[in-house]
């Protein structure tokens, strides 16, 4: 009798984790629509979403196949190697991958960094995904975005839970 509730609760946790991953992937895709990169970064004929080594969104990334952003196809690169980071437009850094290190190393480059690690924007990251009650929200570090010459639209800024404007 005790096994059935335990089994159900573990399946519920898996379903919640899967839906959270789907929401994060949707956030990442939609961020592309509200960010402008400098001409040097958009000269490519596609946009690239990169994921750090520990990022695991499972099959949720399949919903991005065939998607376009502003008329350009969107590529997804998992487990991006350090030497290939310059090809990224948006980089999701898993909390297990020391996101602050990435943010520091990429400072001034036109790469928008995103992580779900608590305090990420205070470590130089551009967008931090945060839990707001039972909902997922985000916060933005404008100083980091400006350092990379990326422009975040006012529409996205209005939706942010917190904005760090810099000095």
CB 121 within 8 A of CB 141: yes
Other C-beta atoms within 10 Å of 29: how many? 18
What six digits make up the tokens of 144?
Answer: 């980091």
Res 65: pLDDT: 87
How many Cα atoms sit within 13 Å of 92 on the Cβ side?
25
- The arithmetic mean of pLDDT across residues 89-107, rounded, is 89
Confidence at 4, pLDDT banded by 50, 70, 90: very low
pTM for the model stands at 0.86
pLDDT, tens only, 52-79: 887 778 889 888 988 999 899 999 999 8
Q: What are phi and psi of 22, to 5 degrees?
A: -65, -40
CB 32 within 8 A of CB 49: yes
Confidence at 99, pLDDT banded by 50, 70, 90: confident
- Answer yes or no: CATH 2.60.40 is held by domain 21-164: no
Give residue limits of the domains in the chain.
21-164
Where is pLDDT greater, at 105 or 36? 36
Q: What is the largest CA-CA distance in the chain?
A: 63
């Amino acid at each position: 009798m005790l096994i059935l509730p335990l089994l159900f609760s573990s399946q519920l946790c898996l379903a919640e984790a899967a839906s959270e991953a789907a929401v994060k992937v949707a956030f990442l895709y939609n961020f592309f629509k509200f960010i402008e990169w400098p001409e040097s970064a958009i000269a490519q004929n596609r946009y690239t979403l990169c994921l750090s080594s520990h990022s695991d969104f499972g099959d949720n990334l399949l919903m991005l196949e065939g998607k376009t952003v502003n008329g350009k196809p969107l590529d997804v690169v998992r487990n991006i190697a350090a030497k290939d980071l310059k090809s990224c437009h948006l980089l999701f850094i898993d909390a297990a991958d020391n996101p602050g290190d990435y943010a520091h190393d990429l400072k001034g480059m036109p790469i928008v960094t995103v992580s779900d690690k608590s305090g990420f924007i205070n470590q130089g990251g551009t967008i931090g995904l945060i839990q707001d009650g039972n909902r997922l929200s985000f916060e933005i570090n404008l100083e980091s975005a400006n350092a990379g010459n990326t422009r975040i639209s006012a529409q996205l800024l209005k939706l942010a839970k917190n904005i760090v404007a810099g000095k």
